């Protein structure tokens, strides 16, 4: 067997000198003879971990939300026989009426994934309008269209909910870091991975959250934090992934992206980024990201991407 391979190599060398076969072709012949993988078949080592914020590293605090809306407002709402669990959907429906969605092809969804993200939220998260201007647009619609609501109690409740969403001081106080998520980010750093953030978030809330939650944001270099409002584009638009990759000069296949929305995961994968969906664990008041799932999936991905290197070492020794 060895003698046959030696003869084949000798013939290839003779052909190179006689017919001017390029050396790169000769190298390819040697590679094929000894069973080595071509570079295009080798998976890059995972070097970068990219995190979404909402429902991955940050969770909503439902108790804090109720406090901000106000106990009296909630009692008034319940007294009119309304279902308080439906208020979030009513808020989204109202937001959808403020202005029509401009890009139907952009499959941005609400945080719970049940509805298309209203245009007013898209404009806000992309930085087109400030929080103040966004709230002004919403309140103006409510004032001019009272017929959209069953009664005054529902209208006031929706108005209060929108003020909670679009006032950064209020919103930042109803969000809190996921302790297990902070631990997971540190674990990624301990593995030698560079950590980044890619999140749909308005600039004002982001600045307040940095101050309120230093234990989370100090884990990331400022140059590695990419916020949609500062970039002028939101997930799952492919452009936002391209901006991150080009800005930091990253190989997409050396990256892993964690997000809680299927559309964002699929868009990242279309850009050749490894992506892992973050499932949610139901709690009494809301939900919490399943960080253990991310931990297991990352370990599996790292193992799979290190496999070709092991195979090459074994082939070389053979």
pLDDT-derived band of residue 41, with 50, 70 and 90 as boundaries? low
pLDDT at site 108: 94
**Structure pTM?**
0.80
pLDDT-derived band of residue 253, with 50, 70 and 90 as boundaries? very high
The stretch 234-239 carries a mean pLDDT of 98
pLDDT at site 91: 83
pLDDT-derived band of residue 3, with 50, 70 and 90 as boundaries? very low
pLDDT at site 216: 97
DSSP letters for the chain: -HHHHHHHHHHHHHHHHHH---HHHHHHHHHHHTTPPPGGGSPPPP-EEEE-SBTTTEEE-HHHHHHHH-HHHHHHHHHTT--GGGHHHHHHHHHHHHS--S-TTS--B-TTSSSBPPHHHHHHHTTSS-HHHHHHHHHHHHHH-GGGSSSHHHHHHHHHHHHHHH-HHHHHHTEEE-HHHHHHHHHHHHTT-EEEEEE---HHHHHHHHHH-HHHHTTS-GGGEEEHHHHT--TT-HHHHHHHHHHHT--GGGEEEEES-HHHHHHHHHTT-EEEE--EEEETTEEEE-HHHHHHHHHHHHHHHHHHHHHHHHHHH-
pLDDT-derived band of residue 291, with 50, 70 and 90 as boundaries? very high
Whether the per-residue pLDDT at 33 is higher than 70: the answer is: no
pLDDT-derived band of residue 308, with 50, 70 and 90 as boundaries? low
pLDDT at site 254: 97
* Candidates 3.40.50.1000, 3.90.79.10, 3.40.109.10, 3.20.20.120; CATH matching 48-59+176-305: 3.40.50.1000
pLDDT at site 72: 61
Q: Taking all residues of the chain, what is their mean pLDDT, rounded to a whole number?
A: 83
Going from N- to C-terminal start, the domains of the chain cover: 2-35, 48-59+176-305, 62-173
pLDDT-derived band of residue 252, with 50, 70 and 90 as boundaries? very high
Q: Distance (Å, rounded) from C-alpha 260 to C-alpha 32? A: 42
- Across 3-17, 220-234, 253-267, least confident range: 3-17
pLDDT at site 157: 82
């Amino acid at each position: 067997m060895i003698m046959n391979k030696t003869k084949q190599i000798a013939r290839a060398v003779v052909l190179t000198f006689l017919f001017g076969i390029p050396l790169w072709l000769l190298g390819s012949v040697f590679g094929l003879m000894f069973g080595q993988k071509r570079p295009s078949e080798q998976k890059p080592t995972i070097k970068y971990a990219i995190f979404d914020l909402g429902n991955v590293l940050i969770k909503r605090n439902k108790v804090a939300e109720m406090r901000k809306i106000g106990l009296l407002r909630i009692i008034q709402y319940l007294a009119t026989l309304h279902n308080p669990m439906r208020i979030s959907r009513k808020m989204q429906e109202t937001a959808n009426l403020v202005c029509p969605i401009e890009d139907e092809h952009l499959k941005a969804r609400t945080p719970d994934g049940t509805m298309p993200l209203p245009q007013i939220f898209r404009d806000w998260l992309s930085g087109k309008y400030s929080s103040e201007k966004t709230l002004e647009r919403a309140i103006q619609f409510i004032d001019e269209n009272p017929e959209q609501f069953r009664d005054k109690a529902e209208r006031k409740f929706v108005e209060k909910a929108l003020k909670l969403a679009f006032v950064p001081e209020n919103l930042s106080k109803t969000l809190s870091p996921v302790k297990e998520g902070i631990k997971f980010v540190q674990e990624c750093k301990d593995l030698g991975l560079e950590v980044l953030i890619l999140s749909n978030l308005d600039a004002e809330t982001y600045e307040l959250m940095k101050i309120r939650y230093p234990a989370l944001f100090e884990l990331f270099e400022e140059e590695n934090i990419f916020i949609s409002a500062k970039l002028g584009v939101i997930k799952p638009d492919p452009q936002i992934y391209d901006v991150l990759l080009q800005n930091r000069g990253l190989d997409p296949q050396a990256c892993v992206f964690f997000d809680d929305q299927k559309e964002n995961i699929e868009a990242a994968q279309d850009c050749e980024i490894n992506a892992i969906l973050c499932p949610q664990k139901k709690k009494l008041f809301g939900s919490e990201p399943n960080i253990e799932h991310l931990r297991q999936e990352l370990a599996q991905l790292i193992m799979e991407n290190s496999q070709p290197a092991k195979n090459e070492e074994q082939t070389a020794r053979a």
